[in-house]
Amino acid sequence: MSTWWLIFIAILLSFSLTAGMRRYALAKSIIDVPNARSSHSIPTPRGGGVSIVLTYLLMLILFGIAKLVPLSGVIALGGAGAVVALIGFMDDHGHIAARWRLLGHFIAAIWALTWLGGLPPVNFFGVAVDLQWVGHLAAALYLVWMLNLYNFMDGIDGIASVEAISVCLGACLLYWLTGFENLIWPPLLLAAAVTGFLVWNFPPARIFMGDAGSGFLGVILAGLSIQAAWASSQLFWSWLILLGVFVVDATFTLIRRLLRGDKVYEAHRSHAYQFASRRYGRHLPVTLAVASINVFWLLPMSLCVVYLGLDGAMGLVLAYLPLVVLAVKFQAGALERPLVS
């Protein structure tokens, strides 16, 4: 069987598992009921992201057996993703104290970095910087922040799925253009697993991802960027550029809430994308806008970094500036009150 057929099998498997998870959630009353902090108005089953987790982990093992993905990559991504997904699944079905969730997240991050080799030297404005153990610590914080910010950003229909698919396919294009085809399979497989779920999650969503799925996507995407850093520093910067919409919105919102003295661990609706969805009255325009920014702005900027020789750090600054402007425009982190056009 051609390897490419495995990608289509992954899509079909994820689609079928999501249908099963939806029936399970309805039977067990695992329903996200709207409240004052919700961005939706209709009770909707949650936990569908488990289908992404199961599909990706199973297919990743198969790709490892076929030697399309190195064993270290299978163990790093699979192990870290499984730990984060399990924590999220337990939290979806009950509640885990924040300190224990955070401990589990750091264990997953350390596991991934141990097998990936930590953070390699990174070119910063033309200078190769090797932070050694400080860099490994920063990488652990980066993985933990990525998996949590992905959870924060999974607040309207389809947005987390569209982000993952567009980022992964963009990375695959970069790998192909720069001769790193051996790195294509893990992100392509993730895009396939999320595509099967997106059929059910596209606005208006019939099932939500849940913490198990969003945290899993965040740690896997961060892990893939670290894996890419060992192949090329420019690829690492390109991953950060591709992830810009989520990174800027979540980070800008967190900083503004911290400065105001808010309890940042409490649920809220003050991300830019949430304000935007309320302004336009629907989720679909915002989700499509995220896809458009990724394809027509962030992907070309990452191409300039890996293909045209633009310095990675400079490319990141240039790519993020308009995103910061959008965050300000849509009042990311502001007190929740009606927007004035």
Q: What is the pLDDT of residues 210-226, one digit of tens each?
A: 999 999 999 999 999 99
Q: How far is CA 30 from the centre of its chain?
A: 23
Burial grade of 264 (CB within 10 A; 0-12, 13-18, 19 or more): middle
In eight-state DSSP terms, residue 266 is: S
- The pLDDT of residue 341 is 39
Find all residues with CB under 8 Å of 9, minimum gap 6, and list them.
Answer: 59
CA distance 13 to 211: 20
- Say if CB 119 and CB 141 are below 8 A apart: no
Angle between helices 284-293 and 244-260 (to 10 degrees): 110
65-71 CB contacts, 8 Å cutoff, 24+ apart: 66/3, 68/3, 68/185, 69/185, 69/186
Q: Let me know if 50 is exposed, middle or buried by CB neighbors in 10 A (0-12, 13-18, 19+).
A: buried
Return d(Cα 171, Cα 175) in angstroms, integer.
6
Q: What is the pLDDT of residue 95?
A: 77
For a pLDDT cut of 90, what percent of the chain falls above it?
A: 78
Three-state DSSP state, 263: coil
Instruction: Judge contact between 285 and 158, C-beta under 8 A.
Output: no
What does the pLDDT look like over 19-74, one tens digit per residue?
A: 999 999 898 888 877 655 555 657 889 889 999 999 999 999 999 999 999 999 99
Q: Give first-to-last CA distance, the chain, whole Å.
A: 55
Confidence of residue 335 (pLDDT cuts 50, 70, 90): confident
